[in-house]
Amino acid sequence: MFQFAHTNYLYFLLLIPVMIIIFIVSLQIKKKAVKSFGDLEIIADLMPNVSVRRPKLKFILLLFALSFIIIGIAGPQFGTKLKKVKREGIEMIFALDVSNSMMAEDIKPNRLERSKQAISKLIDKLHNDKIGMIVFAGDAYTQLPITTDYSAAKMFLSTINPSIVPKQGTAIGTAINLAMSSFSPDNNKSKALIIITDGENHEDNAVEMAEKAKDEGIVVHTIGMGLSKGAPIPVIGSYGQRDFRTDKNGKVVITKLNEPMLQEIASAGNGLYIRANNSNAGINTLFRKINKMDKTEIDAKIYSEYDERFQYAIAVALFLLLVDFLILERKNKFFKDVNVFKLNVHKTKN
Q: Which pLDDT score is estimated for 338?
A: 47
Asked if the structure places residue 183 within a domain, the reply is yes
Q: How far is CA 327 from CA 7, 51, 223, 280, 330, in A?
A: 33, 11, 73, 69, 9
Q: Are residues 115 and 245 in the same domain?
A: yes
Same domain, 274 and 137: yes
User: pLDDT at position 299, please?
Assistant: 61
What range defines the domain where residue 60 resides?
A: 2-75+309-349
Sign of CA dihedral 226, 232, 233, 237: negative
Q: What is the pLDDT of residue 235?
A: 87
CATH number of the domain to which 143 belongs: 3.40.50.410
Report CA torsion sign: 83, 89, 91, 92.
negative
Q: What pLDDT is attached to residue 41?
A: 63
What integer pLDDT is reported at residue 89 of this predicted model? Answer: 87
Cα separation, 242 vs 253, whole angstroms: 15
Angle between the N-to-C axes of helices 206-215 and 172-180, in degrees from 0 to 180, rounded to the nearest 10: 20
Does 161 share its domain with 255?
yes
pTM: 0.63
| Dist. CA 276–CA 262, nearest whole Å | 12
Do both 37 and 135 map to the same domain?
no
What type of residue is 283?
Answer: I
Whether 9 is covered by a domain: the verdict is yes
Q: Give the span between the Cα atoms of 263 and 304, in whole angstroms.
A: 46
Tell me the mean pLDDT per 10 residues along the chain, length 350.
85 93 89 69 60 84 94 85 73 94 92 93 89 94 92 93 89 94 83 92 83 94 91 83 85 91 95 86 82 76 70 93 82 50 46
Both 292 and 313 in one domain: the answer is no
Residues 242 and 123 reside in one and the same domain: yes
Residue 44 within a domain = yes
The number of domains in the chain is 2
Asked if residue 232 has a cis previous peptide bond (ω within 30° of 0), the answer is no
Looking at the fold, whether 290 and 320 belong to one and the same domain comes out as no
Q: Would 142 be classed as within a structural domain?
A: yes
